[in-house]
Amino acid sequence: MTHTYISLDDLKKIYPDEWILLGNPEMENTIILGGIVLYHSKDKKDVCYIGRDKTANYDSVTIAFAGDIKQQRKIGIFQRL
């Protein structure tokens, strides 16, 4: 298994609409520029729990979403107005 740095633009092409666990991420302020893919899945919980075991050899890790996050949550009481 190779551990290669991948930019965020390339991650979006390779893993569209997936959550990605990145090792040693490159960041500028709070913006993720890329990192080493440790685990990926369409399910964020999988990335958080299954990916946890893959982080031991990295100084830092983060989770990124390679898609557009759309606000779809609706609060019930406001739907009736």
Determine the pLDDT at residue 3.
79
Cβ atoms 33, 7 nearer than 8 A: yes
* Cα–Cα distance for residue pair 38/61, rounded to 1 Å: 9
Residue 45 confidence class, pLDDT cut points 50, 70, 90: very high
Return the closest-CA partner of residue 35 out of 11, 68, 70, 66.
Answer: 11
pLDDT of residue 51: 84
Q: What is the pLDDT of residue 2?
A: 56
Residue 13 tokens read as 């092409």
pTM, rounded to two decimals: 0.79
15 CB contacts (<8 Å, ≥6 apart)?
37, 40, 66
Structurally, the chain folds into a number of domains equal to 1
* pLDDT (tens digit per residue) in 2-33: 579 999 999 999 999 999 999 999 999 989 99
Structural domain of residue 63, as residue ranges?
5-79
DSSP at 51: G
